Amino acid sequence: MFTGPSFVAFSGVFTLGVLFSILGSVKLKLAETLNIDDTKVGSLISAMMFTCLVAVLIVGPLTDTVGYGIVALIGFALACLSVFVLASSRNYTTALIACLVLGIAAMCANTVGNTLGPTVLFDGQNAPRASNLLNVFFGFGAFITPMIIALLLNALGYKKTVGLIGIILFLPIILVALTMKQLPVPEEGFNVVKAIGLLTNPVVLVGGLALFCYIALESSMAGFVSTYLKDLDFSDNKATSYLSGFWIALMAARLITAIFLTGIDPAVLVPALGLLAAVAIGLMIIAPNPATGVFGTLLAGFAFGPIFPTLIGVCFGKTDAIAQGTAGSVFGLLFAIGLFGGIVVPPIIGNYTAKTSIRKGLQVALAVSVALIVIGAVLWRFVPDVS
């Protein structure tokens, strides 16, 4: 089952996990090194996310046009280069350039991983299952990056530690070079008519709205779980441990889904998991004691885990994107719509939390999870397959 192309796909989502977690992992030391405040650090993260939003709309159709190999090489090379530049940055402007390039690299890796994987895993016959297996490696990349940085930062210093991450990201370049001839190539290249048609495709529009809700939830929880746990009077070390547990639960749920997702309509999982997420967030809001709050947090991670990969796989299946040669374009549009959720909702929760409390802020996340249930149900029951 596992071939050279499948390992390229795994490398893509792993690289995405590393790139999405690296700024958060080094932000304190980066601010000290560059002598900038939290506002400037926030602008670096915003610059990366803005570039992601623009790049994914370009990289998707580009992948459908030139194939996985070229986009993978570009993405992995830019990932390696941008992390080395970030490691060597001595002023804000240089770090800003590195973050802008990080966004492009992230979307190249993201698109290659999440479109190549469903094509080559499970003989291309079970996109939701393949996507869940793939995105275990996203969680792994996002999990080990802060761990490596936390363990080595004091011993090696900022430049060498971040540079080590850059060396790790160099390895996929070698893998792509060795497997380039094995990677699938587009049969007919980019089709403008098909691409324009996707803009009004109900699967893409409804799936994109569902992904808007999901990315809003994941990014919000990633940012505010530690705040919530501190509100439960846990120490910094305990809060960090339970936050790690949140990500482990997310990865475990994806692995379980990848193993056992057979014999049922995968589209039903999106509203079902949305319901489980709503229950988990509700427990966090009403938790009468710290143990209930921790259980709700871990349950939320477990509920979140399969939603993104299953949703992508369902949309690929309903649009027949792999056979039609439009997987890159479909993924690009879905992810672009979804990214708005990560841009819009976390600041709303942050502002509401600042004015009231973290539990009140989580009520916004609860409302988003309810919206995900409704939209997921619409996608499952009322949006037909569109080839």
For the chain, what is the mean pLDDT? Answer: 90
Q: Nearest Cα to 103, choosing from 38, 57, 64?
A: 57
Residue-wise pLDDT tens digits, 157-215: 999 999 999 999 999 999 999 999 999 887 665 555 566 678 789 999 999 999 999 99
- pLDDT tens profile 376-386: 999 999 898 76
- pLDDT value at position 225? 85
DSSP state of 288: S
Span 310-324, average pLDDT? 91
Measure the CA–CA gap between 136 and 144, rounded to whole angstroms.
Answer: 12
Q: How far apart are CA 173 and CA 177, in angstroms?
A: 6
Q: Phi then psi for 162, rounded to 5 degrees?
A: -70, -35
Domains defined for the chain, CATH in brackets: 1-189 (1.20.1250.20), 191-387 (1.20.1250.20)
pLDDT tier for residue 27 given thresholds of 50, 70 and 90: confident
Please report the pLDDT score of residue 324 as a whole number.
83
Residue scoring higher pLDDT (223 or 8)? 8
Closest CA to 335 of 145, 7, 108: 108
Q: What is the pLDDT of residue 147?
A: 85
Contacts of 138 (CB under 8 A, 6+ apart): 13, 14, 16, 17, 113
Cβ contacts of residue 308 below 8 Å, gap of 6+? 131, 135, 211, 214, 215, 218
In angstroms, the Cα distances linking 299 to 201, 226, 260, 274, 294 are 33, 15, 19, 12, 8
Q: 10: pLDDT confidence band, cut at 50, 70 and 90? A: very high
pLDDT band of 224, cuts 50, 70, 90: confident
pTM metric for this prediction: 0.89
